[in-house]
Amino acid sequence: MDDVYDLYRRGMELLESGHSHQAAVPLSRARDLAPDKASIREALGRALFGAQRYHEAAEEFRSVIERAPTNDFALFCLGRCLQLLGRDSEARRPLALAACMAPERRDYRLYRDRARERAARAARAAGS
């Protein structure tokens, strides 16, 4: 049986070398062995995001936020997943929270503003 840390380390090496699809395999196994470890869930979320598996990535980032509600990176990533799933209205809250927690992060503010604009546009179109 694989050790959780070895699986995590192997997944992180793959993730850091740009192999998101492959990284998801050992990170998923590590998550299954240690479901309460936010660091594993965040890394798995990053791998799934990189593999364009946004729905699954969003679930991992939600899990991180449940354990660490002030994790601005997880909030930002959840918001980005929701945006890429076409759910801009839902993306506004986590993106706004991330931008408030880390006001120095220009990228957080940029995606927060995009979500606001797209959600407003969709609301206007629905009202037409």
The answer to whether the CB of 100 falls within 8 A of the CB of 69 is no
Buried b (16+ CB within 10 A) or exposed e, 76-111: bbbbbbbbbeebbebbbebbbbbbebbeebeebbeb
- Give the CATH fold of the 4-127 domain: 1.25.40
Q: What is the pLDDT along the chain (128 residues), one digit of tens a residue?
A: 579 999 999 999 999 999 999 999 999 999 999 999 999 999 999 999 999 999 999 999 999 999 999 999 999 999 999 999 999 999 999 999 999 999 999 999 999 999 999 999 999 999 87
Q: So what's the pLDDT on residue 127?
A: 85
How much is the pTM?
A: 0.94
Task: Return the domain boundaries, the chain.
Answer: 4-127
Q: So what's the pLDDT on residue 33?
A: 96
